[in-house]
A and B are shown apart, each in its own frame.
Chain A
Amino acid sequence: MPRIDAHLHVFTKASAEFPREISDVWPAEREESVEKLLGEMEKHQIDQAVLVQMAGASIENHRYLLQCLKAYPNRFLGIGLVPEGHPNPADHMAKLTDNTGIIGFRFSTFGGPRDIFAKMDVREFAAYPIWECAAERDYVLWLYPNAINAHLLPYLIQEFPQVRIVLNHLAVCPGAGKFSWDEFGRPQVQVTGYNLFMHTTYRLARFENVNVHLSGQYAFSKEEFPYKDLAGWHHGLLSGFGAKRLMWATDFPWILEEPGYGKLTTVIEELLPNLSEAELADIMGGNAKRILRFPDL
């Protein structure tokens, strides 16, 4: 069974050939190339990976991702972005998925009522056309919902039960103003000690098309690797979703310095030590292969 890293990012230096947004963390001259990633994968026996677009949502911003997918069609699948408020998201998504290796798109907002007590008409949600398009074209939706959006999800999932959903990073829904970067250049998301998500995203386990990444531990944990304070979260997700709907991922490149790619290939064994060999193999790649339809190597 292949070992698949189900969520990570690569980017190259900003240039006319590969335009991208820049920030303090990914300045124009920074490069975290696909070759560097392949080196880590090789070293730690990881066979395939999902490359997730970052640093811009325009078609042009996706050029490096598209080049990587074209260069290594059997190794990678891609997840794209849609500019917020795009007048024709279906057109944008179609352009990016035309035999390119991009299989879906990442979102964090759904454009519905902020108040869970409001009347919910899912067709009025701003994200409805995107979900409709995903259902028609079999795109995967890669979701990292903002905290104020989490309650909207089951309405969309009910409406589109055929859409494959992957909740990113332990199904956490980051709160506004709770995001920062640490001294290792890693995203940090401040979360409460009490696991709020067991009353929102964990409850979506009932929907068979919903899957969850076991990743991003470094961003939520108050401890160093292996992030034992999150063991309960992993057990909760395992008990709710089962071993067939969980996918391991590293979130490369943020983890390269601390704790390092190699250590993260063992994080599931550390946090879920009672998994059977078959369950571990599923989480480490079997599920990603089946759910995301990775090609045979």
Chain B
Amino acid sequence: MILPTPEQKAQWEEEGYLVFENAIQGEDLKRLQNAFDYWADACKEEWLDRVEAGESVATFYDIPSPLEKDPIFIDIIDYPSYYGALMEFTDHDLILLGPQVRTVAPWPVSYTGWHPDVGQSNPLHIKVQIYVNDVEPGSGEFGFVPGSHKPGSGPYTRPMRQESMTGHKTFPGKAGTAIMFNSCGWHVSMDNHSDTPRKSIILIYEKRTPGRIGPEQYASISAYCQTPERRKLFSLDG
């Protein structure tokens, strides 16, 4: 486990995000890309049928139950390059809420506007977004307003155009880049005007509160969670 440096800790506190370049690389990145592409392709038609039936969003899709589909999707949950920071920031009391293995289509407008996910009263809620392909500027890169996670910051209002958000920063990056952010902060997916879908994985974590996730949630992958740390992370023992 790689713990965050004092500089990283200070940035996390002040700005509410950290970028881990090459967080996943080499064979692991290839495994991740192959599994992503295989399952995204396998699930696409069913997703389109669900869009037609009005049961799924038309502008992006997530691979359903990814943890059951390939062990690489489990391995990235506690991947060493960012897991230490997650543990440190949650006082070593971290749970996984869920993964979103997401393909976002190029579209004239981003599929979402600027928003925070949770309010200040929520237990510390952290997301890690991992780029599975290279994400160039203008191709759906992550955007964040540094400092917007802090109590008393703002007020922020959602602008009509993503690029008009006051004080925002955008995060293009190479495949394997991981961006960790405090979900109280205002964030977005920028417009994707390229011809390339944005492939990324959004891992959602929270500081543990009793009963937040039941042991049945991840029971199907219990065999992959033999260590006490993993069992705790996946709330397998209640």
A binding-site residues for B, Cβ under 8 Å: 114-117, 146-148, 150-151, 154-155, 158, 173-178, 190-192, 196, 198-200, 203-206, 239-240
Contact = CB atoms under 8 A, between A and B. Distances in A.
9 closest A-B pairs by CB: A175-B54, A147-B54, A154-B108, A148-B52, A116-B105, A175-B53, A203-B109, A151-B58, A199-B57
Contacts of A175: 52-55
A127 B161 CA distance: 27
Interface string B178-198: 000000000000000000010
Contact of B158 (A147, A154, A177, A239): A239
Contacts of B83: none
A177 B49 CA distance: 12
Interface in B132-161: 158, 160-161
Contacts of B54: 147, 173-176, 178, 190-192, 196
Interface centre among B48, B57, B112 (most CB of A within 10 A): B57
Interface of B: 44, 48, 51-60, 105, 107-113, 158, 160-161, 197
27 contacts: A114-B48, A114-B52, A116-B58, A116-B59, A116-B105, A147-B53, A147-B58, A151-B58, A151-B105, A151-B107, A155-B108, A158-B108, A173-B54, A173-B58, A176-B52, A178-B54, A191-B54, A192-B54, A192-B55, A196-B54, A196-B57, A199-B57, A203-B111, A204-B109, A206-B109, A239-B158, A240-B158
Contacts of A158: 108
Nearest to A192: B55
A296 B139 CA distance: 48
A200 B160 CA distance: 14
Nearest to A202: B113
A205 B55 contact: no
Contacts of A151: 58-59, 105, 107
A200 B112 CA distance: 9
Contact of A199 (B52, B55, B112, B160): B112
A116 B107 contact: yes
Contacts of A205: 160
B58 A206 contact: no
B160 A178 contact: no
Nearest to A151: B58
B204 to A, nearest CB: 16
Contacts of B160: 205-206
B53 A115 contact: no
Contacts of A146: 52
Contacts of B105: 116-117, 151
Nearest to A195: B57
B51 to A, nearest CB: 6
Contacts of A206: 109, 160-161
Contacts of A191: 54
Contacts of B60: 199
A117 B48 CA distance: 11
Contacts of A239: 158
Given A174-B54, A176-B53, 8 more contacts: A116-B58, A148-B52, A151-B59, A154-B107, A154-B108, A177-B53, A199-B58, A200-B57
Contacts of B48: 114-115, 148
A20 to B, nearest CB: 28
B6 to A, nearest CB: 40
A198 to B, nearest CB: 8
Nearest to A191: B54
B113 A240 contact: yes
A203 B113 contact: yes
A190 B54 CA distance: 9
A178 B53 contact: yes
A93 to B, nearest CB: 26
A88 B105 CA distance: 33
A204 B59 CA distance: 13
Contact of A147 (B52, B107, B161): B52
A146 B58 CA distance: 11
A90 B89 CA distance: 63
A221 B139 CA distance: 36
B110 A203 contact: yes
A110 to B, nearest CB: 13
A176 B53 CA distance: 5
A193 to B, nearest CB: 11
A192 B108 CA distance: 25
Contacts of B56: 196
A278 B60 CA distance: 38
A200 B58 contact: yes
Contacts of A116: 58-59, 105, 107
A184 B52 CA distance: 27
A171 to B, nearest CB: 13
B222 to A, nearest CB: 28
